[in-house]
Structure 1
């Protein structure tokens, strides 16, 4: 059996962190997704132990887009997360409104109890100008 690589194919992006960064921000990730067990938040996505984060776990459990877009999807705490390849061959993820998640995946997760109808409604149709909508899950 081949040995797993010691580095994660997943790496967060400052574009999706509530931290200073150059350029336009994308949907911001809740703090609990990239916090490590020792309490580190990783201000530098290249020097953070992503293997010990919920974000990495979500990526490992993610499902490919049935429509073949190349994206992968996962869910936790009522929020959908999409991940996509970056130019360096790693992946980065971010919260995705439910109305942008393939119906097949939503229906499966609803049936499995991974998400509720209330959560689907709460996090659907979010304005693209509201990049901080997923941060309220930090309070839960």
Structure 2
């Protein structure tokens, strides 16, 4: 397979995946308002990190996509919740029938889901203490998991 074929197949996978990240939650410059920023490990692929174009990125090869696939549907499928590396994530539909996700405080996870994750050992007391916003405007709190 040549490089052009490989790029084409990555673009095809990116288009067919129900998950596609949003610039709003990436630590990259944009002109619109930012939301809580996603750690780099959520969108890293074997060839490197996120280059800045959510339409060209191979989301099927990311931790974000794997979390989306394993997520728990909530509110008749309008919201989805997942956890990895001690952080909770929520996914919502984007305006183009794809989904995007972002880190959320543990208090925002429905109690029933959080209880299930605690029973399954997916979340520890340490996680609940460690990964949370420092204040209302703190968009960077989840980036500390990139150090781990």
2:109 to 101, 114, 137: 101
- The farther-off stretch of 55-64 and 39-48 is 39-48
Q: Is 1:24 the counterpart of 2:33 in the alignment?
A: yes
Bigger helix fraction = 2
> Which ranges in structure 1 are unaligned for 5 or more consecutive residues?
none
Taking the aligned partners of 1:103 and 1:87, their CA distance within structure 2 comes to 28
- In structure 2, relative to structure 1, the CA distance for the partners of 1:84 and 1:16 (3 Å cut) is same
Taking the aligned partners of 2:133 and 2:43, their CA distance within structure 1 comes to 25
Aligned to 1:40: 49
Aligned to 2:146: 138
* Structure number with larger C-alpha Rg: 2
Deviations 1:43-85 (A, max 9, x none): 10011100100000000000012x5472100000110000000
> Which ranges in structure 2 are unaligned for 5 or more consecutive residues?
1-11
Aligned to 1:78: 86
Provide the secondary structure at the position in 2 that maps to 1:93: strand
TM-score (norm 2): 0.85
Deviations 1:15-68 (A, max 9, x none): 000001111100000000001011131310011100100000000000012x54
Provide the secondary structure at the position in 1 that maps to 2:101: strand
Taking the aligned partners of 2:19 and 2:50, their CA distance within structure 1 comes to 15
Taking the aligned partners of 1:136 and 1:83, their CA distance within structure 2 comes to 20
Deviation at 1:126, TM superposition (A): 4.8
Provide the secondary structure at the position in 1 that maps to 2:57: coil
Q: Which runs of 4+ in 1 moved over 3 A?
A: none
Deviation at 1:91, TM superposition (A): 0.2
